[in-house]
Amino acid sequence: MRERIPVGVLAATGAVGQRFVSLLAEHPWFRVVSVTASDRSAGKRYADAVNWVIPGEIPAAVADLVVRPTDEDPGSVPLLFSALPADVAKGLEPGLVAKGYVVASNASAMRMTPDVPILVPDLNPDHVRLIEAQRRRLNTRGFGMAMANCSSTGAVFPLKALNEAFGVEAVHIVTLQAISGAGYPGVSSFDILDNIIPYISNEEDKIETEPRKMLGAVSADGTAIDFADMTISAQVHRVPVMDGHTVAMSVKLRNRASLADVREAIAAYQVAEDARDLPSMPERTMLLRDEADRPQPRRDRDTGRGMTITVGRLQPCPVFDYKLVTLSHNTLRGAAGGAILAAEYAVARGYMDEIIGEAAFAAQ
């Protein structure tokens, strides 16, 4: 077994940052050696700086790390997992990539940069090729990878299966999103107890755009993604659920398909061979359930250690063609877990070979 790659977590004290720290604690390939946070926390022990809000305890190996200020050099680590808020990410992440770091970011900052992939190894593994164009453009060994918006994550997998099999022309999406998606402290209990909020800033725009990039094809010259030709409409809601985004979808297909066809397209969904054995890849990317009342966030979010998308309520739609409901764990698959999975794939495909070598050296 080779040595674990030293990594850093940017904004490690927030809710998603904590998920990164937690998931990486026992990771077979990566080990956290650097954590950053805002100036207020910088200089403290991680365990003293963090208000740990997720399940489990602070991993011992990270508890004693001294928090670095986010706007300084994160140190001798080739790979950075970023849980930065959108506005900070916008200012910092491109500079880090330019300095030669690999940045796997949970923020939206780089998602729409043409040669930055929204990389999901069990969805669009070929998008990894954008890295080459990105490196050429920036003339650096570093590169950036973006993660899907947490509510898009549940939607794109069935869309991928249906788009490949029958073509998807349009989709209407309504989300019921968990409070953990807003981070910590995030949503005030005053707003959400016994209540629904039919609004999340910018979220509808993202859901109407990002899946089209994620489901698109690498352009002929390898420098961008040709967006998938489908129209998406989204209405979003915050609901009093801790974790797990529910997405109700109605899909208009380009080609006729029976219910059995659609069922089969989803049930038979396959992951690319070179992505199947990644440490964070679940046994099943997408699980189709036939019970009338599933998926449910509390009962299904932890399937596949939070990395499996659960699909259910598949039925014909009187207006479009088919309706279904998906459920994904928003801070695991939809955030930290997804970013780690993407980084694993980049490593597996050799995109970090050169810098890992040096970093491992530097870290000794």
Active site amino acids: 150, 245
Mask for 116-155, x = binds a second copy (CB under 8 A): ----------------------------------------
- Contacts to a second copy from residues 221-280, by CB under 8 A: 231-233, 235, 237, 239-242, 246, 248, 250, 252
Query: How far is 214 from 117, CA to CA, in rounded Å?
Result: 8
Query: How far is 176 from 174, CA to CA, in rounded Å?
Result: 7
Smallest distance from a second copy to CB 183, Å: 8
Q: Which of 95, 185, 350, 357 binds a second copy (CB under 8 A)?
A: 185
Piece of 22-30, 146-154, 178-186, 267-275 that binds a second copy (CB under 8 A): 178-186
Task: Tally the residues of the chain.
Answer: 364
Beta bridge partners of 338: none
**Cβ–Cβ under 8 Å, residues 152 and 236:** no
- Contacts to a second copy from residues 83-102, by CB under 8 A: none
Q: Which of 120, 133, 150, 171 binds a second copy (CB under 8 A)?
A: 171
Please report whether residue 189 would count as binding a second copy according to CB under 8 A: yes
Beta carbon nearer to a second copy, 2 or 318: 318
- Rounded to 5 degrees, φ, ψ at 220 are -55, -40
Written as one string, the DSSP assignment of 268-318 is T----GGGTT-TT--S-SEEE--STT---HHHHTTGGGGTPEEEEEEEE-S
Angle between helices 259-267 and 150-166 (to 10 degrees): 120
Please report whether residue 184 would count as binding a second copy according to CB under 8 A: yes
Query: How far is 276 from 341, CA to CA, in rounded Å?
Result: 11
- Rounded to 5 degrees, φ, ψ at 201 are -55, 125
The residue to which tokens 């990539």 are assigned: 97
Please report whether residue 298 would count as binding a second copy according to CB under 8 A: yes
Please report whether residue 364 would count as binding a second copy according to CB under 8 A: no
Q: Which of 60, 194, 220, 260 binds a second copy (CB under 8 A)?
A: 194
Please report whether residue 217 would count as binding a second copy according to CB under 8 A: no
Q: Which of 132, 208, 261, 264 binds a second copy (CB under 8 A)?
A: 208
Piece of 33-41, 82-90, 166-174, 355-363 that binds a second copy (CB under 8 A): 166-174
